[in-house]
Amino acid sequence: MKKAEWIPAHLNTDVSANVTEYFDSRVKEGKNERLIGFFRGRELTGKQIICPEGYEMAMVDFEDDLMEKQFVIDNSRIWELDVPSLDSSLEFLEIAEIGRILSNE
């Protein structure tokens, strides 16, 4: 199973992280389906992403202005510094669902 953690940070590396040992082990359940996690000592609020029906999540790579799918993601969580920022980031799922509904009509 491939999974992705979308964290509001940039690290100058392209190697895999040991997420299971260093991040998952510290994630706790919060209120309203929210998650609480920590990255480098900073508290983050997160939520499990449920991919809308008819879509798939994938990790992609850009080369020469072309997008290439690397692999499909089965499980993903999105993280932000606070709840309002998280709610704003999750709006793209609502837009994707509206697009799916409109494309079926």
The predicted-structure confidence for 5-18, as pLDDT tens digits, reads as follows 888 777 787 777 77
Span 81-100, mean pLDDT?
76
Question: How would residue 102 be classed by pLDDT, with cut points 50, 70 and 90?
Answer: low
> CA dihedral defined by 95, 97, 102, 104, rounded to 10 degrees?
160
Domains of the chain: 3-104 (2.40.128.680)
Task: Return mean pLDDT, the chain.
Answer: 82
With 70 as the cut, is the pLDDT of residue 105 above it?
no
Give pLDDT, residue 99.
67
State how far the Cα of 39 lies from the Cα of 34, in Å rounded to an integer: 16
The predicted-structure confidence for 59-72, as pLDDT tens digits, reads as follows 888 888 899 999 99
